[in-house]
Chains A and B, each alone.
Chain A
């Protein structure tokens, strides 16, 4: 194996860009939320956050290869991968150590390198055993818990690094050696074969591309072939010309295996969990920070924040509560960017009617996701208000309404992006999401945003949404009228000008 082969596996440019972007966001968050001195902020970013991101992304590429069945028969592949990976990780640790030395003169570099060694190699222990949707939940849960833990112990870790740098250095090398040994262990590597896995860097490298959608379709087909579930029987004797009947046909084709309401229920549960999770974690932080804190006071904070967007002071609790609005939005964003699968059945339907049915399907998918999100957030806030004994007042919901309505026109817009499969638009929307996250969690931002949005009444937002939805329908119709239909809708190209 040479450098070129290794770099093909780990996508160094993408991994590097993502690591830099997220480390930067992390740096802003640590500075804005944890209120640590500059040297501690740089230390935690360079010794913990950046190596963890780099290690996860690079190791993901290796694991992707190890999970292929042919990896076991490649002569010497395991050893040469280990050699290359060790070298690259050592290089990254030295670079991060150098950066730390440059930015923080009073922080011992040996502690930085020791922690770098731990966090660069820790992802090697990830077994990536399952590709099921449950994995997403556990991943998000781990991420949030990790953030909470980081909030709690970050400052103490910095103090420890200052006090005992050589001990951290020695412990770091020992743990790294252990991780490398276990991560490249022959038995464990063999155990990975045959369980397909795709790394984040690969996923991002093919995101919004035709190739990526083909991979997505293949993953779905593989999951379907593994499933033993027999779907529902088709209930209709005959399908008349109504759109409702045909909508049932398409829904049965796409979701018939899961059952009639399973998909809807799944979306609602996901939204509720995603809305409630930041609240639960912020409660945990509050309890850990102030053991004697009153639940009613916490509920009051949640209700006040949820209804008005205002919050006395600024703390990790505030950042977590801001996530309450953003977490479900992420799911809706994914729904909005997911292209509808083009049917492979040659239905006796005109292209225009197929377009109309797919338009209705899109609206249903987004509508359900959005409604579940709105309900999830409202329910969480109102429940907290109820527990805090704050009476419900409609006019107090301005912040909630403004933030949630703001997203509405975005949804058909994102469907247009998914349809036109402009990669740049997709990437820009993801960057926007990251910026929103940063903006929401920094002091005073929400208080400034809410008055700016006050002009956007419910009616105005609905009108803008309807207009964008109409553009989406025109685009969809054009696509269906002028394209080959033997590929998923996201992949089809407009061939003839209408």
Chain B
């Protein structure tokens, strides 16, 4: 866990808070009664399967999309009333588009810079170099990866207090991805920026987040510190030389298992250390406990909605 804590004083108002928000597109319910709060100065990972409602939630944060029911506030202001003071503190990197395709990268940077008094030209120059982006190329000619780099630049250079990233790195190569992750950590360290990032590359997310929100079918199934999740979910490796292990485990905290009568691997949801010892003695087996990474925890969160609740 590489949790990073903000160095600046935490603001009193949460960068984003939602209470019971529901979003419907016709008959499709994209978000259903979601209540959450994004703490200031943290990097929060927003996880979920395709169609879980991540992009909708991020669009609600930036005020582009309005909830059908419930209330949402960014920097303490209802998202339908966000105005220049709030929006200049917000950085948005959209999954697709969000850029004017006929402009060159340089023209787009100059264009966006004029709206933000806090635009940092030095940072812009450094990022252009670090992300290896040619400012003379037109947006329409950029590859998907380069377009994502341009999106990151446009979202970062005005030093936002809240940075909303929707799949910002899916098309970047591993080297640039690592640099981009470092940049996010740097923003947090230097500016105390709050980052809300949605990504399917969980190995990357794991390196930077200190809080995880998991959505499934439009509902929040987990909202916890990453440390807490790692303590809660684990893999137990059971060994029984006598071959006495059962084929099924009725304990409610056992989420999945596979193996045979001599050895089995169980994914469990319990943070009680005594439980493992009791379990071992009950089944006459030895237990080894292994912490799970985010990629292993995610299916447990996404597939066991009722258990988690």
Contact = CB atoms under 8 A, between A and B. Distances in A.
Interface of A: 221, 224-225, 227, 229-231, 233-234, 236-239, 241, 249, 252-253, 256-257, 344-351, 353, 481-486, 495-496
Contacts of A351: 63, 80-82
28 contacts: A221-B101, A224-B102, A225-B140, A227-B102, A234-B110, A236-B114, A237-B114, A238-B117, A239-B115, A252-B111, A256-B100, A344-B94, A344-B100, A346-B64, A346-B87, A346-B90, A347-B115, A350-B81, A350-B87, A351-B63, A351-B81, A351-B82, A482-B66, A482-B80, A483-B66, A484-B64, A485-B63, A496-B68
Contacts of B263: none
Interface of B: 59, 62-66, 68, 80-84, 87-88, 90, 92, 94, 97-104, 107, 110-112, 114-117, 138, 140
A347 B100 contact: no
Q: Give chain A's interface secondary structure class.
A: loop
Contacts of A249: 111, 114-115
A347 B90 CA distance: 10
Given A234-B107, A484-B59, A257 B102 contact: yes
A280 B230 CA distance: 81
A486 B65 contact: yes
Contact of A345 (B81, B90, B99): B99
Contacts of A344: 94, 97-100
A461 B107 CA distance: 44
A350 B82 contact: yes
Contacts of B66: 482-484, 495-496
Contacts of A482: 66, 80
Contacts of B112: 345
A345 B112 CA distance: 9
B289 to A, nearest CB: 45
B92 A346 contact: yes
Given A234-B107, A238-B114, A348-B115, A225 B101 contact: yes
A232 to B, nearest CB: 8
B114 A230 contact: no
B72 to A, nearest CB: 13
B64 A231 contact: no
B87 A349 contact: yes
A344 B93 CA distance: 12
Contact of B62 (A224, A234, A346): A346
Contacts of A348: 84, 87-88, 90, 115-116
Contact of B101 (A224, A347, A483): A224
B107 A231 contact: yes
Contacts, number: 93
A234 B105 CA distance: 12
Given A233-B110, A496-B66, 14 more contacts: A224-B102, A234-B110, A253-B111, A256-B100, A344-B94, A344-B99, A345-B98, A346-B62, A346-B64, A347-B115, A350-B81, A350-B83, A481-B80, A484-B64
Contacts of A349: 83-84, 87
A221 B140 CA distance: 9
Contacts of A221: 101
B102 A256 contact: yes
Nearest to B65: A484
Contacts of B88: 348
Contacts of A347: 87, 115
Find the residue from B83, B100, B138 having the highest chain A CB count within 10 A. Answer: B100
A229 B104 CA distance: 11
Find the residue from A225, A229, A353 having the highest chain B CB count within 10 A. Answer: A225
Given A229-B102, A345-B98, A484-B64, A234 B111 contact: yes
Contacts of A233: 107, 110
B103 A256 contact: yes
A346 B98 contact: yes
Nearest to B117: A238
A239 B92 CA distance: 19
Given A224-B101, A344-B97, A485 B115 contact: no
Find the residue from B62, B97, B111 having the highest chain A CB count within 10 A. Answer: B111
A224 B59 CA distance: 26
A482 B81 CA distance: 10
Find the residue from A225, A237, A495 having the highest chain B CB count within 10 A. Answer: A495
Contact of B140 (A224, A238, A345, A495): A224
B114 A239 contact: yes
Contacts of B92: 346
B179 to A, nearest CB: 24
B36 to A, nearest CB: 20
Contacts of A495: 66, 68
Contacts of A484: 59, 64-66
A249 B104 CA distance: 16
B65 A485 contact: yes
B84 A345 contact: no
Nearest to B85: A348
B211 to A, nearest CB: 24
Nearest to B112: A345
A138 B65 CA distance: 43
A344 B108 CA distance: 13
B114 A234 contact: yes
A315 to B, nearest CB: 49
A44 B155 CA distance: 64
A485 B83 contact: no
A336 B84 CA distance: 30
Contacts of A234: 107, 110-111, 114
Contact of A350 (B84, B98, B102, B114): B84
B161 to A, nearest CB: 13
A350 B83 CA distance: 4
A229 B101 CA distance: 11
A239 B297 CA distance: 47
Contacts of B98: 344-346
Contacts of B83: 349-350, 353
B104 A230 contact: yes
Contacts of B110: 233-234
Contacts of B115: 239, 249, 347-348
Nearest to A350: B83
A233 B106 CA distance: 9
B220 to A, nearest CB: 21
Of all A-B residue pairs in the complex, the 8 with the closest CB atoms, nearest first, are A348-B87, A350-B83, A257-B102, A234-B111, A484-B65, A348-B88, A239-B114, A346-B92
